[in-house]
Amino acid sequence: MSTLIQTDRFALSETERSAIEHEMHHYEDPRAASIEALKIVQKARGWVPDGAADAIGAILGIPASDVEGVATFYSQIFRQPVGRHIIRVCDSMTCFIGGHESILDAIGQQLGIAPGQTTADGRFTLIPVCCLGNCDKAPALMIDDDTFGDVRADGVAALLEAYP
Amino acid sequence: MATIHVDGKAYEVDGADNLLHACLSLGLDVPYFCWHPALGSVGACRQCAVKQYQDENDTRGRLVMSCMTPASDKTWISIDDEEAKAFRASVVEWLMINHPHDCPVCEEGGHCHLQDMTVMTGHNQRRYRFTKRTHQNQELGPFIAHEMNRCIACYRCVRYYNDYAGGTDLGVFGAHDNVYFGRVEDGVLESEFAGNLTEVCPTGVFTDKTHSERYTRKWDMQFAPSICHNCSAGCNISPGERYGEIRRVENRFNGDVNHYFLCDRGRFGYGFVNRKDRPRQPVMMLSGMKMGVDAALDQAAALLKGRTVIGIGSPRASLESNHALRELVGAENYYTGIAAQELANLQLICQVLETGPLPTPSMREIEAHDAVFVLGEDLTQTAARLALALRQAVKGKATEIAAAAKIPEWHQAAVQNVAQQARSPLFIASVSETRLDDVATQSVQAAPQDLARLGFAVAHAIDPSAPAVSGLEPEAAALAQRIADALLAGQRPLIVSGASLGSRDVIEAAANIAQALKNREKNASISLVVPEANSMGIAMLVADDQGDKSVDAALQALTSGRGDALLVLENDLYRRAPVAAVDAALAAAKIVIAADHQITETAKKAHLVLPVGSFAESDGTLVSQEGRAQRFFQVFDPSYYDSGNLVREGWRWLHALHATRQNQPVDWTQLDQVTEACAAAHPRLAGIRGAAPKADFRIRGMKLAREPHRYSGRTAMRANINVSEPRQPQDRDSAFAFSMEGYAGSAEDRQQIPFAWSPGWNSPQAWNKFQDEVGGHLRAGDPGVRLIEPTGERNTWFAVNPAFAPEKGQWQAVPLHHLFGSEETSARAAPIQARMPEPYVALNKAEADRLAVNEGARLTLSLDGQTLHLPLRILDDLPLGVIGLPVGLAGIPAVFADARVTDIQEAAQ
């Protein structure tokens, strides 16, 4: 039996609901709004709890399993609680050559977390990402919506400081 | 036609096919996973790669996926090419990276497509030596077990479950090398066709949980070609037995009927065969005294001596057994065991099909109709496999759109993409929401009388010479016009109706639509669903008899004293007639003998019970709703494991009793003789002779093996009884041997195939090797004989019935059918019981509000003077003025269609 299933009840807020309904009308087939709906929930809550699949499915008129399929397909839809800030460290070819591992090590030393983990204080979550389109400034990383290039291990601490 | 060159050899193939389909149809082995004859191509697994060349001079070639490449004229390919072989070996190695290699403990082992394909590609050395990705499994209900670690991610399960069968609760989650096929959370797989996952899945992710409880490898089971007895659809099944128990039911391919798929009642409802409480010796019920065959026959003959015996047959028993009963008691004393109203409707259906204007399509042909009107049937509950066929029929539109875009039908993902939600028109008119409404253009709910009037209005809208319906509401008239327009616009319209509502009007309305379509010269069909496996056969058996052949007339014959003894064949009278009437008849009868394979309520009140075989222990013929006579064959001989087991075919008991009574020797020693006698006595049934080969049928001088040639343990299986191995049981009744000796292959054409196996093909995909083309028809012709072809001689109209007009304080009872629960024998199987609803009474929400009662409230109601206590189920779409009762569940009257209900109130706590 699966133990990963949360049993607490999930209800969309009125804002989320109306945002999804608004988004849905941009498409001929409401199914097409699945990703946007998940992003709306994630924006409001930081992540997408299990019950959201049912709730979104009910609005879009599609099975919950289809919503869940989309939600689990995309690595940037978070299915577990994450920290206040998301650090995305690029591990694609250019950044790999450019020394992305030293960046990961520096973050690890600073925050005590490995990729996929969240700091105990819930401040940061560290995840790898496979390209930020910033290859000319490798190694690159992103914190929330801010992209940083030519990152050096000794500059990591200063970068993190800006995100309380 | 097209010429393709495979490894230098030229073949003629259908150019509309893809290369994989063409090669497999030619008998060439190309391994594959994601492709399935019924699901088409998506090119996902990359296993069927072959090398294609520009022309005969090209020596380099390039790899293509054979399932995604058209078999166009002058195609040059190589299956044996070294690069192609190496590629295929790599693909299976990649697919197997995370596979647990747990074949010894996996229930798929021995009939596993993955095993077959792995052997075929020659992948026999594992190189991956790292940690494998693992999954948590889900609890998917009483039918299906889940073991995700075995998954090779071919996507067949979701393509079947969602795209083919219309399920909504199986999905695929995750991405790249971590995908998971399952439900959003644990729970019962909701589709009524979920069981087919066990055959569609090429490996052991979805396996048969009912089989798991008494597991045996495919090669260790004994099989026979059989027919599902759980509804009138007549699906072909292949039950497997070991140690005197049915272990599983697998689909048996019949290209005219069920082809690759069954419903879950058919697949998982076999448990009644294995019940410990079945009668296995003749038994005097009062004293509990058991006796031998001869003693029982003498006893029965003595009990019946000098008495007028009323014989009650059964629509769940074979034609042969019913005929033997009729011979025993005489035509005038033989009754069908069917309630009067139902029998009258069956006879009407027979008449409509025999003398009406339109043919009945085979189940496979239903899929080819492009405009469908379902009138009064909840098909998913009453003849589920037909509902699955209709789900394919509505996809005709998608195929049409795709064809216009030059996309071949087999290109499944592209067809689906270009057509989006487009479907052929399907209209459903029923008393309550059905599980097919999701693909309907429009569905409407009304009381049976109003459904019939809608049908009559459709007929009139199609052909104005059909009687008009006066006083129809404007919306209903507009809907009737829409349905008529859709049927007239179709190339092949189909009207589906049946007896499940117990409404004569509904059937007559369907007949009028058929007539109207014929008058407009449409190439149309009509399909009428009947209640039970042999309802159609029994109706044909008594079609020429005089007098009332209903169970009610039989009970009357006993209570009136015209008969003073009763012989009941495979029938529980309490499921056919009111309790008081049955009680009175049983009390009036001096002697009651029941011949059944279950201890029914009727059998409990018999003086003597004769143990007759279920479908698994006997042979016989059934007639499906299509009018197709099909033979089912004995799977095993129960006395082999227990000489005290005296279960015999119904017809064998009854004929022996007949002979004993007349002090004559037994004439019928073989099934063929009974079938012949039945065919000779009933001209309508003359065709049943040809329903299957006779007992002297041989292939290369051999009988046909019931057991795979690897069948093991035979010398030991009776060692607990006696270390000397007895001779295998001899089967005089059929061409099959209770043995692995005999013909079991696919090279010789044959219709009756106990189990699908061909060298290298152990999974159900072995059916490829028996077909004219893969997914088509059996090379020897599909089993069964159609008995009814319409003469068209009747061309009068049925008159329109009055509208439903409920009186204040009164309701009309309507039957609601349940796939799990409404059928008598499958409801005795534990896994089916786990899915059966509790008995209930259903009311519309507005009615419940008016009565101030809530969902689940215990109600009392009076039905034709009988008081019922049932919890309330609110069905929003149930028409006003009717109450719904679930057919066949405990505490629900046997016959209630049309009955008047009064005095509904909440029971005092």
- pLDDT: which is higher, B806 or B238: B238
Note whether B171 contacts A74, CB cutoff 8 Å: no
Does the residue A3 lie in any domain? no
Cis peptide before B886 (omega within 30 of 0): no
Nearest residue in chain A measured CA to CA from B177: A73
A-chain CB neighbours of B185 within 8 Å are 2, 5, 50
**B810 membership: H or E segment, kind and range:** strand B810-816
- Flag whether residue A96 sits within 8 Å of chain B, measured between CB atoms: no
Tell me the pLDDT tens digit for each residue of B329-370.
999 999 999 999 999 999 999 999 999 999 999 999 999 999
A119 part of a folded domain: yes
Chain centroid to Cα B737, Å, comes to 26
- In percent, the amount of chain B with pLDDT more than 70 equals 100
Using a CB-CB cut-off of 8 Å, the residues of chain B touching A50 are: 184-185
Assign A10 a pLDDT band (cuts: 50, 70, 90). Answer: confident
Q: Confirm or reject contact between A63 and chain B (CB < 8 A).
A: yes
List CB contacts (< 8 A) between B169 and chain A.
63-65
**Are A29 and B421 in contact (CB < 8 Å)?**
yes
CB contact under 8 A, B169 and A4: no
Residues of A in contact with B168 (CB under 8 A): 63, 65
Is residue B170 over pLDDT 80? yes
Q: Do B169 and A65 touch (CB under 8 A)?
A: yes
Strands B525-529 and B493-498: what pairing? parallel
User: Could you identify the residue written with the tokens 């339109």?
Assistant: B358
Closest CA to B881 of B901, B866, B897, B907: B901
Distance from CA of A56 to the nearest CA of B (A): 13
| CB-CB neighbors (< 8 A) of A68 in chain B | 171, 173, 184
A40 touches chain B (CB under 8 A): no
Q: What is the DSSP letter of B419?
A: H
DSSP A20-76: HHHHHTTSSSGGGGHHHHHHHHHHHHSS--TTHHHHHHHHHTS-HHHHHHHHHH-TT
- Smallest Cβ–Cβ distance between B184 and the set A3, A65, A74 belongs to A65
A61 to chain B nearest CA, in Å?
11
Q: Which among B656, B740, B680 has a CA at the least distance from the CA of B541?
A: B680
Check if the beta carbon of residue B620 is closer than 8 Å to that of residue B651: yes
* Measured CA angle at B514 (ends B511, B517), to 5 deg: 150
Task: Determine how β-strand B785-786 pairs with β-strand B628-632.
Answer: antiparallel
The mean predicted confidence, pLDDT, of chain B is 96
Q: Are residues A144 and A102 in the same domain?
A: yes
**B244-271, pLDDT tens digit by residue?**
999 999 999 999 999 999 999 999 999 9
**What is the residue range of A135's domain?**
85-161
φ, ψ (nearest 5 deg) of residue B120:
-60, -40
> Under CATH, which number does the domain B810-906 receive?
2.40.40.20
| CB-based contact A69 B136, cutoff 8 Å | no
At B861-871, the pLDDT tens digits run 999 889 999 99
Question: How do the domains of chain B map onto residue ranges?
Answer: 2-95, 343-536, 810-906
Question: What is the per-residue pLDDT across B756-778, written as a single tens digit (0 to 9) for each?
Answer: 999 999 999 999 999 999 999 99
pLDDT at B832 over 90: yes
pLDDT single digits (tens) B35-72? 999 999 999 999 999 999 999 999 999 999 999 999 99
Contact state of A63 with B169 under an 8 Å Cβ cutoff: yes
Specify the pLDDT at position A2: 40
Q: What is the rounded average pLDDT of the residues B151-169?
A: 96
Of A73, A94, A112, the last residue of a domain is: A73
To the nearest whole angstrom, how far is the Cα of B351 from the nearest Cα of chain A? 44
Final residue of a structural domain among A73, A103, A124: A73
Query: pLDDT category, B897, cuts 50, 70, 90?
Result: confident
Query: Helices (H), strands (E): how many in chain B?
Result: 26, 36
Q: How far apart are CA B542 and CA B408, in angstroms?
A: 49
Task: Please report the number of interchain residue pairs, chain A to chain B, with beta-carbon separation below 8 angstroms.
Answer: 45
Are A60 and A89 within one domain? no
Do A155 and A108 lie in one domain? The reply is yes
Q: What is the CATH number of the domain that holds A127?
A: 3.40.30.10
- Cβ within 8 Å of A, B 134-173: 136, 138-139, 168-173
A61 and A113 belong to one structural domain: no
- Asked if B168 and A63 come within 8 Å (Cβ–Cβ), the reply is yes
Name the residue facing A69 among B138, B139, B172 (closest C-beta).
Answer: B172
Query: Over 90: is that where the pLDDT of B795 sits?
Result: no
Question: Do A95 and A67 belong to one domain?
Answer: no
pLDDT tens-place string over residues B103-114: 999 999 999 999
Same domain, yes or no, for A155 and A97?
yes
A134 lies in the same domain as A110: yes
Task: Answer for the pair B796, B512: CB distance below 8 angstroms, yes or no.
Answer: no
Q: Residue B909 — pLDDT band, cuts 50, 70, 90?
A: low
A98 & A147 share domain: yes
Number of domain units in chain A: 2
- pLDDT for the residue B656: 97
Partners of residue B136 in chain A, C-beta under 8 Å: 1-4
Alpha-carbon gap, residue B333 to B311, rounded angstroms:
6
Reported as a pLDDT band with limits 50, 70 and 90, residue A8 is: low
Which of A50, A65, A75 is nearest residue B168 as measured by Cβ atoms?
A65
Q: What end-to-end distance do the CA atoms of chain B give, in Å?
A: 75
Residue B225: alpha-carbon gap to chain centroid = 14
Q: Rounded to the nearest 10 degrees, what angle do helices B650-662 and B319-329 cross at?
A: 20
Please say which residue of A38, A73, A108 terminates a domain: A73
Residues of B in contact with A6 (CB under 8 A): none
The pLDDT tens digits of the residues spanning B493-517 come to 999 999 999 999 999 999 999 999 9
| Cα B613 to the center of its chain, rounded Å | 20
The pLDDT of residue B1 is: 86
Q: Is the pLDDT of residue B380 over 70?
A: yes
- A104 shares a domain with A47: no
**Interchain contact A69–B (C-beta under 8 A):** yes
Whether residue A44 is found in the same domain as residue A66: yes
B146 → chain A, closest CA residue: A1
Distance CA B573, CA B580 (A): 11
Closest CB to A2 among B136, B170, B421: B136
Residue B533 to residues A116, B124, B315, B327, B675, Cα–Cα distance (Å): 58, 47, 7, 22, 18
CATH number (3.30.70, 1.20.140, 3.40.228, 3.30.450) of B343-536 reads 3.40.228
pLDDT at residue B421 in the model: 87
Contact B184 A4 (CB under 8 A): no
Give the per-residue pLDDT at A9: 76
Burial of B131 (0-12, 13-18, 19+ CB in 10 A): exposed
| Inter-chain touch B183–A74, beta carbons under 8 Å | no
Flag if A68 and B173 touch (Cβ within 8 Å).
yes
Residues of chain A with C-beta less than 8 angstroms from the C-beta of B174: 72-73
pTM: 0.95
Record: contact A74-B175, CB cut-off 8 A: yes
CATH of domain B2-95: 3.10.20.740
Residues A66, B420: C-beta atoms closer than 8 Å: no
Torsions phi, psi of B868, nearest 5?
-120, 145
CB within 8 Å: B174 and A53: no
